[in-house]
Amino acid sequence: MSGAPTTLSELAARIGARFVGDPGRRIVACAPIQSAGPEEVAFVANPRYLSFLTETRAAAVIVAPSQATPEGLARLEAEDPYFAFREAMIALHGFRVHPSPMVSGGDGHSAIPAPGHDGGPSQSWRSGAAFIHPTASVGEGAQVHPCAVVERNAVVGPRCILYPGAYVGESVVLGEECVLFPNAVVYDRCVLGNRVTLHSNVVVGHDGFGYATHGGVHHKIPQAGVVILEDDVEIGAGCAIERAAMGETRVGRGSKFADLISIGHGTTIGQHCLLVSLVGVSGSVEVGDYVMLGGQVGIAGHLRIGDFVQVAAKTGVVEDAAPRARLGGIPGIDLDAAKRNALVGRDLYGMARRLKALEREMAALRKQLDGAS
């Protein structure tokens, strides 16, 4: 995952930034501003890290053009420093390189052609310890690692990668360049678009939480729907996305999940949404596009969340949210009001004591007034 060393001027050209400093300064890696060394580049996009500018040892720092820096500190000026940092990470480190599938007992870099292929450059490779049903289709350039399972009538698209323990259920369809990390599971009939990534222990398409209580017994409702993940969706480790009872559960194009997120059956997550760890979305919820849900947000069932809504961490959403609303608190209300409530609530015990004291004073005053009359 490392790129070739470069110079300050070369890096500036690759990330679309303007450099100020020694153009020949050697850059080998990216690093946090508080720990970067003399051959590493750092960035500042969050004001809370500005204090480190005066003490960093970084070879250069990526900043906005308007950001002041100490004299002598080389800088890479970019209108969007965080995106420029992303480009620098690609230039200097690159993305993860996926290992080749192992032959059972092999050297870790060998594999055998999948059935029906001749071993050419666009060959699909599979470990001898993988399990691929004869009716399944594995596209060109795909790699199937040991103990991965591809069930009957499943379609694995070109250049997909199935790590050890990945499970592709019956009649599942994976688009091009999907990656299923170890022990990721896709239940039967679910559909993944192109370039979908499932990190370890993700479960897509298990039964929704649907029961009819009758005569004091919870009776399971068959879950006949599916899950659809559109192009460029990335799902963090340990997430669970339920299949719909009828119809579909859908995650829109370009949406990204952190870890340990639960999506209920029949819910729709819009395009380009960001969900932080431990979010829980109940069933039959409609989430719009470009929605951001902070850590531990919970959304009750059958709600509609408009486009561009932002929900602060630990918020409990119990009613529909209009487009561009900013919510916080339990239950979720306007974020500014929630912040004011939180500030007031920091000393409820002290407020209660003062209220009791005022009540005693009022009682004493009434007693005095009654005596005077």
Mean per-residue pLDDT, 155-170: 97
161 membership: H or E segment, kind and range: strand 161-162
- Give which of 111, 183, 163, 174 is closest to 139, Cα–Cα: 174
User: Is 345 within a domain?
Assistant: no
Residues 254 and 121 placed together within one structural domain of the fold: yes
Residue 105: how many CB atoms within 10 A of its CB? 8
Burial of residue 300 (CB within 10 Å: 0-12, 13-18, 19+) is middle
Residue 121 has pLDDT above 50, yes or no: no
Return contacts of 22-25, CB within 8 angstroms, 24+ apart: 22/74, 25/59, 25/60, 25/74
Residue 144: how many CB atoms within 10 A of its CB? 30
Look up the CATH number of the domain holding residue 65: 3.40.1390.10
The structural domain count of the chain equals 2
CA 202 to chain centre: 12
Q: Would you state the structure tokens that stand for residue 68, as one six-digit string?
A: 């002041």
User: Is 121 within a domain?
Assistant: yes
Angle at 287 between CA 281 and CA 292, to 5 degrees: 80
pLDDT in tens, 318-355: 999 999 999 999 999 999 999 999 998 899 999 999 99
Residues 78 and 131 placed together within one structural domain of the fold: no
Catalytic residues: 265
Q: Answer whether 99's CB lies under 8 Å from 82's CB.
A: no
Residues 234 and 293 placed together within one structural domain of the fold: yes
Mean per-residue pLDDT, 61-71: 95
Residue 109: how many CB atoms within 10 A of its CB? 10
245 membership: H or E segment, kind and range: none
Full domain range(s) for residue 234: 112-337
Look up the CATH number of the domain holding residue 301: 2.160.10.10
Residue 214 has pLDDT above 80, yes or no: yes
Name the residue type at position 34.
Q
Q: Answer whether 38's CB lies under 8 Å from 59's CB.
A: yes
pLDDT at 253: 98
d(CA 180, CA 233): 12
User: Is 349 within a domain?
Assistant: no
pLDDT at 125: 76
Residues 29 and 141 placed together within one structural domain of the fold: no
d(CA 32, CA 1): 17
pLDDT at 175: 98
User: Is 356 within a domain?
Assistant: no
Domain boundary among 39, 64, 92: 92
pLDDT in tens, 216-245: 999 999 999 999 999 999 999 999 999 999
Of 113 and 61, the one with more pLDDT: 61
pLDDT in tens, 131-161: 999 999 999 999 999 999 999 999 999 999 9
d(CA 161, CA 226): 22
d(CA 315, CA 325): 13
pLDDT at 91: 95
Q: Dihedrals φ, ψ of 75, to 5°? A: -140, 150
pLDDT at 196: 98
